[in-house]
Amino acid sequence: MAEQTTSEYFRYRIRRDTSGAAAWFTARWRERRRFRWAVTAIGGMLALFIIGWALLARGLPDANSLLDYEPPLPTVVRGIDGEIVHSYARERRVQLQYPDFPKQLVEAYLAAEDKTFFSHGGIDAGGLAGAVVDYVTKLGSDERAVGGSTITQQVAKNILLSNEYSVTRKLKEMLLARRIEGVLTKQQILELYLNEIPLGRRSFGVQAASRAYFDKDVGDLELHESAFLAILPKAPETYSREKNSGAALARRNFVLDQMAENDFVSAAEASAAKSQPLGLISPKDDTKSVDAGYFLEEVRRQLIEEFGETAETSKNSVYSGGLWVRTSLDPELQVAARDALRSGMLAYHGNRGWAGPLATLKEEDGSLTKQLASSYLGINYRDWRVGVVTGRSGSQATIGFADGTTAPLGGLPDALKKGDVIAASPTGGSYRVRTVPEVSGGFVAQDPQTGRVLAMQGGFDSRLGSFNRATQAERQPGSTIKPFVYATGLDNGMTPATEIPDQTYCFYQGANLGEKCFRNFGGGGGGVHTMRWGLEQSRNLMTVHIAMDAGMPNVIKTFERVGIGSYEPYPSFALGAGDTTVLKMVNAYSALANQGRQQPASVIDYVQDRRGKVIWRADKRKCTGCSMAEWDGKGMPRLAPAGKQVMDPRTAFQTVHMLQGVIIRGTATRLRDLELPIFGKTGTTSGPTNAWFVGGTPEFVAGTYLGFDAPRDMGGYVQGGNTAGPIFKNFVLATKKRWSTDPFPAPKGIRMVRIDRVSGKRVFAGGESNDPKAAVIWEAFKPDTEPPRRTRQDEVETRRKEILALIRRGGRAAEESRRQSAQPAEASNFAEEQGGLY
């Protein structure tokens, strides 16, 4: 009852006071005109304020989005050893957590930007008033007023708003700052700020800037360096330039004074720091630890295809997703591949003279050196540099570089002219013209057991052009395709000892094309030889005979299964007339080295998102039961075999075994002194226009070709053995300690049998020999395909023919005498044969 009485009392007081106020307002409104004007003005202003506030707030981003904000971060690439080798970034960015920022660096920014940060609610009234006064005084001039923004306001501008210079943007910034303060803690706001603030030299955030200006991590910065970074938000592009070092020094010292005034450091510490020079390093591009431009571009291309390029296409995009990518790049093998291919190109070019400019620039398009800088052409070879000829008069010329410097140029070819982009190297006080070979090529090294591409070089230098001849150049492989023709023959009843005619083969191609006749490289031919001999000596006629006997459709299917290419069933494709790439050929040979099981060629092992979760992997096999909480008592979970069986393991081994003979006594004998169990095959296309070699060991398979981008005759002396073979050899020599001498393991079902190397007949006498051209060798056969287990058959047959010849020549009496003397030996031989000496 008492509560009800109190309630009634308050209702009574509210009605009485309200009615009294209403009466007072009504009386004043009727009696006083100025009162009506004042109320109207205040109401109008209030209405305008509400409308303006609503309009400003209507399109503002939600401050809550900062709770889940993910800044754009670069993609970091690691090599096979886990070391960082590159990053894909258009801006320098490194994300740190708040505890990672040194206290001294945080205090430097507070002293420089917002000393009341921890006490205000997003807006500093004093700073705002000063900014308003400054804006009014500079109104109508071209000068930009000071911002007066707090750190919270800068976060609002940098992340949620644009950099527009207007009162409207400033009001939006203030409104958002208040909202941000209600959503995030002060530490979270500072973390966003110190990670996102633009600080010049394409750097965003203090860690990236610390690297860009001092080549240090933030934890290693000295006091004067922290103070310098704190001055950059005001004018990063001004203070970072050498010509403005005086202004930068004064501003840095002001920040140090402010730190002392706010008791962040002592006066003595500030004074000592002020005596230090700026200590800025020269601007430089991000460098990678491995010169692997072609490999890394292939990685980038695949990542973009999978995840997109920018944040608009995917949250895990290459240039903003913060991906961590583990690749198969082997730094040591990559350097060896690069150097080996370059040495082959330079050796072929020899003394052919200047090959012409790398590019040509036009004066009407502006400054030649600025055009060169924007072209991003470069070279990483010895002390060579890429420059542009800025002037020539007779035997004198000058060269300009991308950094704007110039120098005298000597060693001038007659055809050199102004605007030519060339390679040059320093000599004395000038530069000398150097020649980048016109011939080019590609090189790939792969692990045949996993398919991982370990090294890739697609030309002389990726800075001279992004075209990757290891993956993009479609070339005729020539004789390097022959092993797969021979493998088809082995799958269709032939053996390494099968005798094949080395004789002309003519093929009728139809009424329109007529008859096509094949010949050996260099001519010659005749007789019948073993399959092994034909592969070792790279005999075209024998290859065509094998292809036609095994069936060209079967040969084409073999090419398709190992991924070389898809062609029409014409005999010319058995000799390498179809186009393919170095990568495809190396991957096909890897199937041979891996007993017919082929792994997809891969340059990326796996990809992690910014939080470390694996979002893509090359090995997509699933291990059922591998993540069981407890062992179920059954057998250990095992992964299924990786890759695809594209060839009979026995056929693959037989082919590899014959290809080892190519190194021992065939067309690649210059590799024999490496003393490794190498298999391989040379290749030379008609012209010759391309020189090839592909081969390796159980651990590494590598392949290379040399040729002009627009195919043309390389010279009659050029062959795969003398042009491409040395490239492979130099690659092996540079990494010799990585190569094992373990032989290729034989798969189940292979029988090793001693045969006569020339005739292919089985022999039972004689031991092993290190002579490359030993008469007796071990050969690999499938069960029941080895030569028959009989002995001295050829001797008996030879003896029989001799007797018949004597019968024709001699008289009956002489013949009778001869036969009587021959009968015991013949009978003995026959008995030996039937007895089966093994």
User: Tokens 């179809």 — which residue?
Assistant: 578
Kindly give, in sequence order, each residue whose CB lies less than 8 Å from that of residue 369, ignoring residues fewer than 6 positions away.
Answer: 388, 390, 400, 401, 402, 404, 406
**CA distance linking residue 393 with residue 794, whole number of Å:** 81
**What amino acid occupies position 495?**
T
User: Tokens 């005798």 — which residue?
Assistant: 499
Report the candidate in 536, 531, 480, 538 with the shortest Cα–Cα distance to residue 701: 480
**CA distance linking residue 636 with residue 297, whole number of Å:** 40
Instruction: State the DSSP code for 671.
Output: G
Contact assessment for residue 683 and residue 693, using Cβ atoms and an 8 Å cutoff: yes
Please give the backbone phi and psi of residue 324, each rounded to the nearest 5 degrees, phi first.
-115, 120
Q: Where are the alpha helices (DSSP H) in 89-219?
A: 103-113, 125-137, 151-155, 167-183, 186-196, 206-214
One-letter-per-residue 3-state SS of 468-499: CCCCCCCECCHHHHHHHHHHHHHHCCCCCCCE
Kindly give, in sequence order, each residue whose CB lies less than 8 Å from that of residue 79, ignoring residues fewer than 6 positions away.
Answer: 85, 290, 327, 329, 330, 331
**CA distance linking residue 652 with residue 117, whole number of Å:** 73
Number of residues that this document lists for the chain: 838
Take residue 821 and report the two structure tokens written for it. 């003397």
- The angle formed by the CA atoms of residues 751, 754 and 756, to the nearest 5 degrees, is 135
- The angle formed by the CA atoms of residues 618, 624 and 626, to the nearest 5 degrees, is 90
Kindly give, in sequence order, each residue whose CB lies less than 8 Å from that of residue 235, ignoring residues fewer than 6 positions away.
Answer: none
Contact assessment for residue 353 and residue 627, using Cβ atoms and an 8 Å cutoff: no
Helix axes 331-349, 725-734, angle to 10 degrees: 140
- Cα–Cα distance list, 612 to 91, 303, 606, 678, 804 (Å): 21, 17, 11, 41, 86
Contact assessment for residue 562 and residue 591, using Cβ atoms and an 8 Å cutoff: yes
In this structure, are strands 597-598 and 505-508 parallel, antiparallel, or unpaired? unpaired
- Cα–Cα distance list, 384 to 310, 339, 378, 387 (Å): 35, 15, 9, 10
Take residue 583 and report the two structure tokens written for it. 């990568």
Residues with catalytic function: 113, 479
Kindly give, in sequence order, each residue whose CB lies less than 8 Å from that of residue 713, ignoring residues fewer than 6 positions away.
Answer: 687, 688, 689
Please give the backbone phi and psi of residue 541, each rounded to the nearest 5 degrees, phi first.
-65, -40
**What amino acid occupies position 787?**
P
Report the candidate in 473, 477, 478, 476 with the shortest Cα–Cα distance to residue 440: 473
> 134 has which bridge partners?
none
- Cα–Cα distance list, 778 to 7, 145, 494, 748 (Å): 114, 89, 17, 17
Contact assessment for residue 377 and residue 358, using Cβ atoms and an 8 Å cutoff: yes
